[in-house]
Amino acid sequence: MATPRAELIHIDVDRRLGHEWDEWDGAPLPNRGNFDAPVGLFFGWAALSLVVAIALAAAAIWLLAPHLAALNPDLPRVAWLVLGVLGGLCLAWWLALGGSYLTGRSLLPARLAERGLLLRVMAFTSRIAAWFNQRDRVENAAVKLYNALALLRVRTVGAGELLLLVPRCLSRSTLDRVLESAGKYEVPVFVATRGQLARRVIRERRPRAVVAVACERDMVTGLHDVAGKVPVLGLTMTLPAGPCKDAELDHETLEKYMRAFLP
């Protein structure tokens, strides 16, 4: 008996997928487009990013101190105190995030972790890492951390309430295998030829959970847009032929993520 194939729906929307790679010069990607990295890499870069943010705030206070003092002599001292408290909160958050990952327990509410604050820190950290040409590996590590935290709070849904979102750039053989895997669980597969696919699909189909496939750059952008609204697990791809062409993925992990949401 032939393996059932999932329903495949193409969607055209307004933001082009792959726009994050517009600066690519056509040269082969490092390690054939495999940006696999340990989660600890993100923690290091996140710490650096938070330090940069605090340093920028400190510079702003230092520059504005004379103007603040002219308004009220106590304002500079209050500003420094507030910055110190924020710095302490950032450190506590970073430690709690690491504790959640290491212990496998949710030590933070979702809005302070994978469905809120973490998404903003991921986006900011990506910008910092891009300055040093480390964006893709840092984002790979960030997505792994996001998934680890999201799996701690995952809730099962019906097959018709789960969506699988994939980009157009999968190789033909990879897409065929994705359709076979999704067909086993009766999960529809959506392929978008342009960006903002997640928001439009979610708005129209109202799923209770999503498994999304994308490169690291589109994944971090998409999670930032969507994960606060609906539970998402994200699977990154390898890009042996460069971005936006013949991408491959880990099919075992894809099935693991689909099964996580299903009874």
Q: What is the pLDDT of residues 95-126, one digit of tens each?
A: 999 999 999 999 999 999 999 999 999 999 99
**135/145 same-domain check:** no
Q: How far from chain centre, in Å, is Cα 224?
A: 6
Domain that holds residue 213: 8-21+140-261
Report the candidate in 195, 234, 205, 252 with the shortest Cα–Cα distance to residue 7.
205
Residue 67 CB-density burial (10 A; 0-12 exposed, 13-18 middle, 19+ buried): exposed
Which amino acid is present at 232?
A: V
Number of domains in the chain: 2
Higher pLDDT, 214 or 9: 214
**134/174 same-domain check:** no
Q: Please give the pLDDT value at position 11.
A: 46
**Six-digit token string for 24:** 């690519």
Q: Which of 13-17, 76-80, 121-125 has the lowest mean pLDDT?
A: 13-17
Map residue 33 onto helix, strand or coil. Answer: helix
> Among the three residues 139, 174, 199, which one is the final residue of a domain in this structure?
139
* pTM score above 0.95: no
